[in-house]
Every structure is written in C-alpha cells, then in structure tokens.
Amino acid sequence: MRYRLTFVAGLALGYVLGTRAGRERYEQLKKSARQVSQNPAVRNTAESAAQQGRQFAGRAYHTVTEKVHVPDSVAERVRSLRDRNTNGAVEDDWGTSNT
C-alpha cells in the first residue's frame, strides 16, 4: 500500500510539474488535494493506519528483544533517553495527531 501511495503521489507531482495546462489547472489540482486531505474519512483512515503501524512496531520490538539479548545497561540507557526526549508526552515521528 505504501508503494502504491508513493507512486500515485509521484505521478501527481510529475503531472503538476510537467503540465502545460497553466496556473488554473495547478490551482484546481491543489484545491482537490486539499479537499481530499481534509476529508474526515481520509483523516480517520490515515490515523488508524498510523496507529496500526505503531502497534506493529511495538510487537516487532518485543519479538526482537526476546530473541536478541541486550545488556541491561544498554536497555536502561535507551529507555532513559527515550523518556527524556518525550518528557512524558506521547508523540510519534509520523506527523499525525491524536484526534
């Protein structure tokens, strides 16, 4: 799915950059993209996909840590750095909001 979305985004970008239809067509495409991105169904789908990705990453992390022995001193250091960077707030690197 990720590659399909990337392909479609690249295709749209190539069309916008390569078109000779002029400014009106560019504005029309921009307006359509804004409408799609502000659609509640699209936002909810993106948020649920991000949430599923975080859950999958968490499961993968636990699976890897069970199979690979990490010394406690390293694990403690990583945890302390993670806690210090988030300051107790739940924040992800994907730029999504918890709405």
Residue 92 confidence (pLDDT) above 80: no
**Is the residue at 99 inside a domain?**
no
Domain count of the chain? 1
**Is the residue at 94 inside a domain?**
no
**Is the residue at 51 inside a domain?**
yes
**Is the residue at 91 inside a domain?**
no
Tell me the DSSP string of the chain: -HHHHHHHHHHHHHHHHH--S-HHHHHHHHHHHHHHHH-HHHHHHHHHHHHHHHHHHHHHHHHHHHHS---HHHHHHHHHHHHHHHTT----TT-----
Query: Domain limits at 40?
Result: 2-86
**Is the residue at 97 inside a domain?**
no
pLDDT tens sequence across 62-81: 888 778 776 677 778 787 87
**Is the residue at 44 inside a domain?**
yes
Q: Which has more pLDDT, 48 or 26?
A: 48
pTM of the model as a whole: 0.42
**Is the residue at 23 inside a domain?**
yes
